[in-house]
């Protein structure tokens, strides 16, 4: 009977999951994973919450609105998902991989979660207040009900941890760097997937200087060379860098001082402003959803889109400084994969660098969307963070199994 492995990504208002099957064999590797089904509970804590699950072939396995009690908070949503999985699966999973946003300065790889690691990750919550506690909540539930299941933390910051110190310092007294105040970078699981994909399918590009633009509700970009992170736009927290759906991106720290001194705002109010009320939502006054903004005729919606494209292009150009140029751009994540207009407008700002898009290919969201004579190749590659997590979890499971066998 084949074993199963679960990947969980718990966000601020959603709970995503994927289930993979591992063949019944003595030895397995990461390429033996077969996707079975996955879905999410969305709108947690609202009266429009929804539970949807699709199979590997796109067939609908569950698609319904939930009652408020079923999804009133993350804990309730976890119980809903646990009950559904218990009914669906013939036995518990062998391992569960979790996306954890912040790994701090001590985590450069995925790791099995024990008491010490759980405490360490929990202490990092102030650096990712919208994500970290929610990422860890399912870990605690599983430990309580199924303590025998191996759980693995896959952190978004690990991909960037070997950057040159020149690129991860701030111009602050060095004692703060030693205390952990540094540029960490995020979306590392997405970047790892794209790097692995390029190595397998586009090896020439993989060896070159590639900017990956992960554009979604949270956005960042990273210069990758020979599969390694060189420099990225996000920093100490997930607030820095590119403008996002509800976060401002790069911001003069003096604005925060002004809020405190001139408007007497406290830390909680400022945190809410920066994480929930800013970005495209704040600038447009309409929505943080790019589709809504592109469809709107409101001048503030136009301003928000123009700002997003300009600042993103400006940051992409800046990422070229350490490598003295770029060979390719990869667009990925929700906006990057699905919005030809945003891709075109960002690239329009970069034409001076020799970037040329083929309008037809871009409109089709083809894999390669640049012209043949473009000095920089431009690509659209869907990301798959969950597969990266599943592979990491399987590796840890196999290592644990091998260790157990050698000790017996």
Residues with catalytic function: 156
Alpha-carbon distance of 299 to 258, in angstroms, equals 27
Counting Cβ atoms within 10 Å, is residue 398 exposed (0-12), middle (13-18) or buried (19+)? middle
**Structural contact between residues 25 and 116, judged by C-beta atoms closer than 8 angstroms:** no
Closest by alpha carbon to 329, among 364, 367, 359? 367
The secondary structure of 13-32 as a DSSP string is SEEEEEEEEE-SSSS--GGG
**In sequence order, what E strands does 95-227 have?**
95-100, 111-112, 150-155, 209-215, 219-225
3-state secondary structure string across 318-337? HCCCCCCCCCEEEEEHHHHH
Alpha-carbon distance of 351 to 256, in angstroms, equals 35
Query: Which residue blocks in 214-278 are alpha helix, DSSP H?
Result: 253-262, 267-276
Alpha-carbon distance of 165 to 180, in angstroms, equals 13
**Structural contact between residues 30 and 394, judged by C-beta atoms closer than 8 angstroms:** yes
97 beta partners: 7, 152
Residue 8 sits at φ, ψ, to 5 deg, of -125, 135
């Amino acid at each position: 009977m084949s074993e199963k492995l679960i990947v969980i990504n718990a966000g601020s208002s959603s709970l995503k999951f994927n289930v993979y099957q591992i063949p019944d064999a003595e030895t397995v590797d990461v390429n033996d994973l077969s996707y079975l089904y996955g879905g999410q509970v969305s709108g947690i804590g609202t009266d429009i919450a929804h539970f949807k699950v699709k199979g590997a072939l796109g067939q609908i396995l569950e698609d319904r609105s939930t009652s408020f009690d079923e999804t009133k908070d993350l804990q309730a949503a976890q119980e809903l998902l646990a009950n559904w999985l218990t009914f669906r699966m013939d036995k518990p999973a062998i391992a569960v991989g979790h996306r954890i946003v912040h790994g701090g300065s001590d985590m450069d790889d995925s790791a099995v979660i024990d008491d010490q690691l759980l405490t360490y990750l929990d202490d990092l919550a102030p650096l990712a207040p919208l994500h970290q506690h929610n990422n860890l909540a399912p870990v605690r539930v599983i430990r309580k009900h199924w303590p025998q299941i191996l759980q693995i933390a896959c952190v978004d910051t690990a991909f960037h941890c070997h950057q040159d110190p020149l690129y991860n310092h701030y111009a602050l007294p060095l004692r703060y760097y030693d205390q952990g105040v540094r540029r960490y970078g995020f979306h590392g699981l997405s970047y790892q997937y794209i790097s692995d994909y390029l190595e397998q399918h586009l090896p020439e590009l993989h060896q070159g200087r590639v900017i990956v633009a992960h554009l979604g509700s949270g956005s960042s970009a990273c210069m990758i060379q020979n599969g390694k992170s060189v420099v990225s736009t996000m920093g100490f927290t997930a607030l820095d860098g590119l403008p996002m759906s509800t976060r401002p991106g790069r911001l003069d720290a003096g604005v925060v001082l002004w809020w405190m001194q001139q408007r007497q705002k406290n830390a909680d109010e400022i945190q809410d402003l920066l994480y929930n009320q800013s970005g495209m939502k704040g600038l447009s006054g309409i929505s943080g959803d790019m589709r809504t903004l592109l469809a709107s005729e409101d001048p503030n919606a136009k301003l928000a889109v123009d700002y997003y494209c300009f600042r993103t292009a400006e940051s992409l150009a800046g990422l070229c400084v350490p490598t003295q140029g770029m060979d390719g751009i990869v667009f990925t994540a929700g906006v990057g994969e699905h919005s030809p207009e945003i891709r075109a407008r960002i690239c329009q700002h970069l034409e001076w660098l020799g970037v040329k898009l083929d309008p037809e290919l871009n409109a089709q969201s083809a894999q390669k969307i640049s012209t043949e004579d473009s000095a920089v190749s431009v690509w659209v590659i869907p990301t798959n963070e969950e597969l990266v997590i599943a592979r990491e979890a399987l590796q840890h499971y196999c290592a644990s199994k091998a260790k157990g066998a050698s000790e017996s």
